[in-house]
A = this chain, B = another copy of it.
Amino acid sequence: MNPESLAWNERLIGVEGGIGRLDTPALVLDLDAFEHNLRAMVAIARAHGVKLRPHAKTHKSVAVAKAQLQAGEVIGFCCAKLGEAEALAAGGIDSLLLTAPVFVASKLERLVALHARVRELAVVVDDPLQVEALSATFAAAGRRLTVLLDVDVGSHRFGVTSVGEGLALARRIAAEPALEFGGIQGYAGSIQHIPDYHARAAAAAPVAALLAELRDALRAEGLPCPVITGAGTGTHEIDARAGVFTDLQVGSYAFMDVDYLDCTLTADGSARFRPALEVWTRVLSRHHKGFATTDAGIKCFATDGPLPRVVAGAPEASTYRMFGDQFGRLILPERASAPPLGSIVRCLVPHCDPTINLWDHMVCRRGETVEAIWAIEGRGAVA
């Protein structure tokens, strides 16, 4: 937490042009771009008759979830961890899907408590032991939990690995009075970032085919799938068109990042989503030719993917590297001089999910004015 920095930035809310006085480093959301992105995804969902179940692992924020709800076509939210779901539920979000198995003893009591607090809660499973743990817990609590079958569609991270295994596990779920079989999840995480749209579409086709095959096999056994959930920002258009998914688990589209900027996300090659999320940093030192030291480093940016991209406040073609845990290195093109000490440099976030998870708040701007500061309540809710 950074309460004194937050207090300073809160004083800027509503002050025209106040963003220039921002205490830095800060995570800054461009509301115009963000709202454009929400509308663009809603339009795709409407055009293809699918619903949205945005993945809150990306933002972990009640305010963002509420904006997504308000934009339309949202039937609920995904969470990767129980703690994320608890954070959203505490803020009034009442339809939640846990997209990874939750079955360890330390979490079952919490899962029941969460179930009592929300309108809809569903959990995925990929192993009979998980079904047993959930069934015993919810039977003892006198409650009924919706359970989805997780299908491995190529990432090999979670999920049953064949239609036969899926059928067997679905029967196990359906046989438990305390559980309701809710459908299937197939999230192809490993193909979301294939840069070329058509190569990505080719990789996504067998995913939809496998899910359709399993759906039909389940239906033939009298186990209909009211929910077939999956997809991400990378395959959102492909999966919306596929006619198999009932809802899309999209996350990054709301913010975008350097990672996704290198991917063509639409069949016609147009840019559907705008980069909306930046880290604003200031120049702290400039003693050397060719670079300057800024106030945002490894603790401000995800370091698992590309580097941050400089978009304003520095000479064109400037680049950015980490300069240790706390500082950044603004690398200047030849013959360019460094921006003045104390001036703001704006960087697109490299990979949005783990970058957001470093911050407790995001500063929301409308042009040059701070409109709001949103809490990231689920930050660090990894358990």
Contact = CB atoms under 8 A, between A and B. Distances in A.
A296 interface: yes
Nearest to A129: B341
A101 B285 contact: yes
A148 interface: no
A377 interface: yes
Interface in A76-128: 80-83, 86-87, 100-101, 103-107, 109-110, 113, 126-127
A383 interface: yes
Chain A's interface size range is 35 or more
A2 B303 contact: no
Contact of A324 (B25, B157, B303): B157
B127 A5 contact: no
A51 interface: no
B354 A357 contact: no
A26 interface: yes
A176 interface: no
Copies of this protein in the complex: 2
Contact of A159 (B8, B287, B296): B287
A129 B286 CA distance: 12
A107 B126 CA distance: 51
Interface stretch (A16-24, A30-38, A205-213, A310-318): A16-24
Interface string A317-340: 000001111110100000000000
A51 to B, nearest CB: 23
Contact of A25 (B26, B299, B383): B383
Nearest to A344: B104
Given A21-B106, A158-B293, A326-B100, A86 B3 contact: yes
A21 B127 contact: no
Nearest to A12: B106
A382 B301 CA distance: 11
Contacts of A25: 382-383
